[in-house]
Structure 1
C-alpha cells in the first residue's frame, strides 16, 4: 500500500483528499498545513508520494517542492492547484513535480494521477 503525505493549508481540502485516497486503498501517513511542515514531514516519514498545494502560507508549494527535490531527487510530488495558477504549476513541473490535479478535486482524476505517478 502506497504511503501518501497530503499538504494543503485548508483542512477541508486535506479531508477531501484523505477520503478519496482511503477509498482508493492508499495510506495517508501525514498531513501538513504549509510548505515548512511539508519539508519536515517528508524527511521524517519518507512517503511514496506527496500531494502538494500550490498556494500556502510560510512557504508555498513550489518552494517546498524545490527543497524536497534538492534533498530527495526521487521524490514523487503531485501539485494541487486552483484554476488560474498555471504559471506556478508550470514552474512546479519544471522543478520536478510529476503531475498536477485541479481543485475542486475530481475523484477519478486524483486516483488516475496518483496511480500513474506511482507506476513510474
Structure 2
C-alpha cells in the first residue's frame, strides 16, 4: 500500500519541520510543503494529498480562504487546521466551513500524530 501523502501548509519553515519530525515518528514520510496560501491551493490541486495540515494565519491567502478553495475543488478533502491559542473564533468558523479537525499550537508530537492517524 502506498504511504499517504500529507500537505503541510504553514508560512513558518520551522513549524513545517516540527510537524514533519512529529509525523515521521509515526512512520509518515511522504510530504509536500507550502509556505503561503496561494502555494497551498496550487500544491493541493497538483498533488491531491490524502490529508492537509493548514495554518490559519498564512500570507497571500488566509487559511480560511485556502480551506474554502480546497473544499470547492474536493468536497471530501481532509483538512486539519492549525492555529495558535486565542484563535478559537477562527477555528469555529473553519469547522463550520468544513475543516475536518484542528490542533492548537504549540502541540506535543503525540497530539498531532494522534489527530493525523485518526484521519488516515
Provide TM-score, normalisation by structure 2.
Answer: 0.94
Unaligned runs of 5+ in 1: none
Residues matched between the structures, number: 118
Provide TM-score, normalisation by structure 1.
Answer: 0.94
The answer on 1:41 being equivalent to 2:43 is yes
**TM superposition shift of 1:28:** 3.4
Unaligned runs of 5+ in 2: none
The answer on 1:73 being equivalent to 2:66 is no
Superposed CA RMSD in Å reads: 0.9
Aligned counterpart for 2:98 among listed residues 93, 96, 109 = 96
Instruction: Show CA shifts across 1:5-60 (max 9, x none).
Output: 00000011000001111121113331101111110000111100000000011101
Instruction: Show CA shifts across 1:55-78 (max 9, x none).
Output: 011101111000000111111000
Corresponding residue number in structure 1 for 2:115: 113
| Residue aligned with 2:89, SS | helix
